[in-house]
Structure 1
Amino acid sequence: MDRLDGIRVFVAVAEAGGFAAAARSLRMSPPAVTRAVAALEERIGARLLHRTTRTVRLTEAGARYLADAKRILAELDEAEATAAGAHAEPRGLLTVTAPLLFGRMHVAPVVLDFLARYPEVSARTLFADRVVDLLDEGVDVAVRIAELPDSTLSAVRVGQVRRVVCAAPGYLAGRGAPSVPRDLESHDCIGFQAGATPAPWLFPGRSGDGIETVRPPMRLLVNNADVAVAVAVAGRGVTRVLSYQAAEAVREGRLVVLLAEHEPPPIPVHLVHLEGRRAAARVRAFVEFAAERLRAVLGAI
């Protein structure tokens, strides 16, 4: 048995949780599976599996080796598919992550339309307000709303969003509209953030350089933009969210954008993925498909 066959057997045992189950899936005899794993461990010089009469579990070295082995086998399968011409036809499971609200509003419709176009692709979405590690969590494509640090990720810019201060017309009729950021200190404000301590609202300095820090009184602090927008629409105060989060309410006249001339620089939106031009066909096709759709959406916000 060659090295790659030994790796495939080890992965099968690790995923099946036992030698007998792996043997059945591989259509091999249990002794042959045992010999293959033993030969692999001897060649590596490390124990990969703890064996008892009832269970098989990975050692620490085995867990690390399993991750590398699965990556190597996936790359080999992709190389073979490329050589066979299958690389041109998107197929397989696509995993996409995005911030929770942006994902629900804008990414989910794109994924559904992509699946309609490519029937050989299935999809999994992970919408969460945290930075998802693509490699650790098995994600193919991520929407990042942030300035990107230097990394090995491939990135395609699809637009930008703004930080907007907004309130309902009814609230403004009773309290007046702020004309400069400091005026917010005399308004009821709705804070939106993940932490427990209200963060200041930052604006460009009055002279065009530096930062102006405003700490408005927070009558309510929430960790969900939907809630912040709904409370503001109800006329209960002023909030600050990203432009896409308030776009529908602003478009319908339920919210009014305030202090537009004092907005900080917009935040870029990117699609990022791991493999660049070597990415699987489903990943490259989705990035191209989603980029066109999201540019249209973000350009209208």
Structure 2
Amino acid sequence: MQLDDLRIFAATVDARNFTAAARKLSLSKQFVSRRVMALEAELGVRLLVRNTRKLAITDLGREFYERARRILTEVEDAAQAMSSQHTEPRGLLRISAPMSFGMTHLSPLVTQFLKRNDAVRFEVVLSDRSVDVIGEGFDMAIRIGMLADSTLIAQKIADLRVVACCSPGYRRRRGEPASPLDLEAHDCLLYGHERPVLWEFVIGNARKSIEVDGRLHVNNGELVRDAAVAGLGIALLPEFIVAEALRTGTLMTVLETFERPPFGLYAVYPQHRQRSSTIRAFTSFLREALAEKGGV
């Protein structure tokens, strides 16, 4: 089994078709298809199901893909460690990040990092779902808020300022809560898919988690913001998502006298990637760049 065949197979799974994989690898479609078929013949199993529209991966193919990704990562790490320039960032970094943060903050920072590091390549996937970092072949993910217990390593990058807000129309119609305890009588716009939804405030020098409910429950901050602007309820969101709406007056803050603990912004990555100089360099770069901006 050749290492190049593992790379070709992994690229084909990522691209979901031979043409896109061939383009990414600068190879012919026929060559990519032949090498995947040869790999299947060598293993004696069907890895991919081919049809006229796209490729589907079999269960055995998915298991082999995950193992192949780990092997390729280890090989790249080993080559990086042995290189005389191993302290310099180099190689491919495949990252997942939330859509709102990715568009607003991550995009310009990736550009800056690439300009400073010619040997680095990025593949960035923006998604508001919590990806399976290891199973889907990511080197690193950016996550906001509470982290579930896992085997992933988490490094805090920054704190995100959090704002409770609603539209002027909602306040006129429903009134403004005098205390976080009053939120149970209000329509709340829920960000994320955890149940129950708990909003945290500082009440009387102690952190209190308030259970809230409402008719809208989504995993995208812009949708929550737009629903708040439309007067559908009260939102609790990172400030960068609602800053423009607050500036123009389409949203207004509520419960200002009650401190809201910030959301943590984390870089998470598999344990076998903790020695990667590229991940360490990019994580440090994000931390320093966001600190220079005065936070998020």
- Name the TM-score, length of structure 2 as normaliser: 0.68
Match of 1:107 in 2: 106
Query: CA contact under 8 A between 1:166 and 1:255: conserved in structure 2?
Result: yes
Please say if 1:278 is aligned against 2:278. Answer: no
Unaligned 5+ residue runs, structure 1? 1-5, 42-46, 51-56
Structure 1 pair 76/210, CA: closer, same or farther in 2 (3 Å)?
Answer: closer
Query: CA contact under 8 A between 2:164 and 2:234: conserved in structure 1?
Result: yes
Match of 1:134 in 2: 133
| 2:216 counterpart (212, 221, 230) | 221
Match of 1:249 in 2: 245
Match of 1:44 in 2: none
Cα distance in 1, alignment partners of residues 189 and 234 from structure 2:
9
Cα distance in 2, alignment partners of residues 68 and 198 from structure 1:
33
Post-superposition Cα deviations, 1:3-40, rounded to whole Å, max 9, x if no partner, equal xxx353763785689xx947987xxxx9xx89xx76xx
Post-superposition Cα deviations, 1:274-298, rounded to whole Å, max 9, x if no partner, equal 245421x33222112112123345x
Cα distance in 1, alignment partners of residues 274 and 195 from structure 2:
43
Match of 1:295 in 2: 291
Superposed counterparts of 1:133-282, under 5 Å: 133-169=132-168, 172=171, 176-181=175-180, 183-184=182-183, 189=187, 191-193=189-191, 202=199, 208=206, 211-215=209-213, 221=216, 223=218, 224-233=220-229, 237-251=233-247, 254-263=250-259, 265-274=261-270, 275-279=272-276, 281-282=277-278
Unaligned 5+ residue runs, structure 2? 13-17, 19-29, 48-55
Deviation at 1:244, TM superposition (A): 3.0
Secondary structure of 1:270's aligned partner: strand
Larger gyration radius, structure 1 or structure 2: 1
Deviation at 1:252, TM superposition (A): 5.3
Query: CA contact under 8 A between 1:153 and 1:273: conserved in structure 2?
Result: yes
Query: CA contact under 8 A between 1:141 and 1:287: conserved in structure 2?
Result: no
- Name the TM-score, length of structure 1 as normaliser: 0.67
Deviation at 1:49, TM superposition (A): 5.7
Deviation at 1:101, TM superposition (A): 0.8
**What CA RMSD, in Å, does the superposition of the two structures yield over aligned residues?**
4.3
Post-superposition Cα deviations, 1:225-254, rounded to whole Å, max 9, x if no partner, equal 223323434666533323332233335555
Query: CA contact under 8 A between 1:9 and 1:22: conserved in structure 2?
Result: no
Deviation at 1:193, TM superposition (A): 3.9
Secondary structure of 2:109's aligned partner: helix
Q: Given residue 275 of structure 2, which amino acid in structure 1 is its aligned partner?
A: R
Cα distance in 1, alignment partners of residues 126 and 8 from structure 2:
32
Structure 1 pair 13/173, CA: closer, same or farther in 2 (3 Å)?
Answer: closer
Q: Percent of aligned pairs with the same residue?
A: 32
